[in-house]
Amino acid sequence: MLSKPLTDFPKITLHKTASGYEIRDNETNMKMSLSFDDYSKVLLDKKKHQLNNIFKAKNLNILDCTGGFARDAAILASLGNNITLIERDPLIMSLLIDANKKIKSEDIRSVFSRIKIRFGNCIDFLRNMNKHFDYIYFDFMFNIKRNALPSKNEQFLRKIVKNDINENIDIIYETIQRVRSKIIIKEHISSNDYDNFDIINTYKGKTVKYHLLEGKSGYRKIYKQ
């Protein structure tokens, strides 16, 4: 068995098992592996998903800047769009690559054939990209406490991914200046972290809302790594 400790998160380790990669929280002994086939139930109800009300056209080119475990990317791809997913954490990236190799369902494989998975920092990608995207999508981790216990996947994301609201806002500001694309920000329904932006529209669901912004192109360096 291969165990790989992470420098920034030494209590979370990556393990190679007979069935693929899994991550382990060595404090709680909680384990998690990623299977894209598990998204089949979610994708069956894709027409009822709030994202279907936002991305009405098909064959859109969408840049998912906060890839995570690719759940939203899978929904967007299943609606007939082409997704470029950016993920900057090497541990999560290992799970994404592993899950992509293990797909058993032909339907799920067809969905993920529309998703290009890229390792890197989203702002670096935006600074150097030479392709136009119709939409830029952000799903930053929620910054409020909720009574409901998060799913196992979300618990691991909260342990692994740094979530700094000031950094998030700076990234959005620079993105607006760099692109001519429409920008979507996903936020918890009770949060108001992005109200200072020039929001064109907000699409509300039961637990989340999606803000629509317009890119203004041009350039103004704001975000600092």
pLDDT digits (tens, 9 = 90+) for 75-117: 999 999 999 999 999 999 999 999 999 999 999 999 999 999 9
Reply yes or no on whether the pLDDT at 60 is more than 80.
yes
Rounded to whole angstroms, the Cα distance separating 197 from 213 reads 8
| Contact between 207 and 148 (Cβ < 8 Å) | no
| Pairing between β-strand 61-64 and β-strand 182-188 as defined by DSSP bridges | unpaired
Tokens read off for 53: 């009300």
| Contact between 64 and 137 (Cβ < 8 Å) | yes
Q: Which residue has the higher pLDDT, 125 or 28?
A: 125
| Pairing between β-strand 208-214 and β-strand 115-119 as defined by DSSP bridges | unpaired
SS3 214: strand
| Pairing between β-strand 20-25 and β-strand 12-17 as defined by DSSP bridges | antiparallel
Phi-psi region of 70 (alpha: psi -120 to 50; beta: other; left: phi over 0): left
Q: 164-175: b or e for each residue (b if 16 or more CB lie within 10 Å)?
A: eeeebbebbebb
pLDDT at 143: 53
The stretch 195-202 carries a mean pLDDT of 95
Report which listed range, 22-26, 110-114, 144-148, 215-219, is most confident: 110-114
